[in-house]
Amino acid sequence: MSLTLGRGPLSAKAPAQVNYRVEGPAHRLFLEGFPRRVRAVFDGRTVIDTRRGALLHETGLLPQLYVPEEDVAMELLEPTDHHTVCPFKGEASYWSLRSGDRVVDNAVWAYREPLPEASWLRGLVAFYWTAADSWLDEDEEVRGHLRDPYHRVDVRASSRHVRVLAGETVLAETRSPKVVSETGLPNRYYIPPQDVRMDLLEPSQTESVCPYKGQAAYWSLRAEGLSLDDVAWSFPEPLENALKAAGHLSFLHRDLRVEVDGRPSA
């Protein structure tokens, strides 16, 4: 996905169909300012409030927010003896996050003396996303992590013929799917519920959150001779990028076969 994952231009396996070469190490770092105010709240207290945050794009990793120490409530941080070494950034020092009796160990890190090639990390601090109770991008709460500006989701109406089969049982068949194209991922086909054998599915307890599409609900297959967990998911109330796929179901499971225009889907 985006610049540093999958087949992105700064990934470890960048596409060959280009007219340029990236000179430098195979593991690449790219720090870029984040354009909006970001806040993090822990135990009812604001631990980050910054308009100067930056996303570190790093080969093979999701972008990580770094913020100036001046924009962090350092009084809520306690230094620890924990250290890690990155061959590309240097040695990281860690802090635990504490408010009253609540403690998150080694939740925060910084490169006090970064390697020369990453000297611009000096004075910046990073938090694990799960350390804070909530994150806000301007005044909107963010689920999962901040959105990468180079990652996008497009939903398009389609007339492709999509079938989903469990053995010889047709679970879904439509000629009006929504095609969801997401940076770095194969197309996913979302099927209207009226074209799905909903009588063969039951809601699952599984949930997941996508920062770009929203909170997903899952279904399991339960029929005579057929029992598979979490074969389908949908976004009942998607974020704005996926609104056109609201309520539609997408299927993916090793024991299912998804065909698009008569051919196996990726």
pLDDT at 13: 78
Note whether 160 and 236 are same-domain residues: yes
Residue 66: beta bridge partners? 54, 126
Q: Which three-class secondary structure state does DSSP give residue 240?
A: helix
Out of 142, 176, 193, a domain closes at 142
Reported as a pLDDT band with limits 50, 70 and 90, residue 4 is confident
Note whether 134 and 161 are same-domain residues: no
- Mean pLDDT along residues 87-113: 97
Query: β-pairing, 29-33 with 90-99?
Result: unpaired
Alpha helix ranges (H) inside the chain = none
**Strand order through the sheet with 38-42:** 45-50, 38-42, 134-137, 140-142
Q: Which domain holds residue 213?
A: 153-264
> What is the residue-averaged pLDDT of the chain?
94
Q: Is the pLDDT of residue 14 over 90?
A: no
CATH of the domain at 234: 2.170.150.40
Residue 91: beta bridge partners? 85
Is residue 17 one of the residues assigned to a domain? no
User: Would the pTM count as exceeding 0.85?
Assistant: yes
**Which of 20-24, 35-39, 127-131, 201-205 has the weakest average pLDDT?**
20-24
Name, in order, each residue with C-beta under 8 angstroms of 212's C-beta and a sequence gap of 6 or more. Answer: 147, 151, 152, 153, 182, 239, 241, 242
Higher pLDDT, 60 or 189: 189
pLDDT at 135: 97
Domain count, the chain: 2
Q: Cα separation of 141 and 67, whole Å?
A: 18
Task: Give 249-265 pLDDT, tens digit per residue.
Answer: 999 999 999 999 999 98
Task: Give 36-92 pLDDT, tens digit per residue.
Answer: 999 999 999 999 999 999 999 999 899 999 999 999 999 999 999 999 999 999 999
Q: Is the pLDDT of residue 1 over 70?
A: no
Is residue 20 one of the residues assigned to a domain? no
Which of left, alpha, beta for 137 (phi over 0: left; psi -120 to 50: alpha)? beta
Residue 98: beta bridge partners? 103
Note whether 160 and 247 are same-domain residues: yes
Task: Give 149-178 pLDDT, tens digit per residue.
Answer: 999 999 999 999 999 999 999 999 999 999
Note whether 183 and 244 are same-domain residues: yes
Out of 78, 109, 142, a domain closes at 142
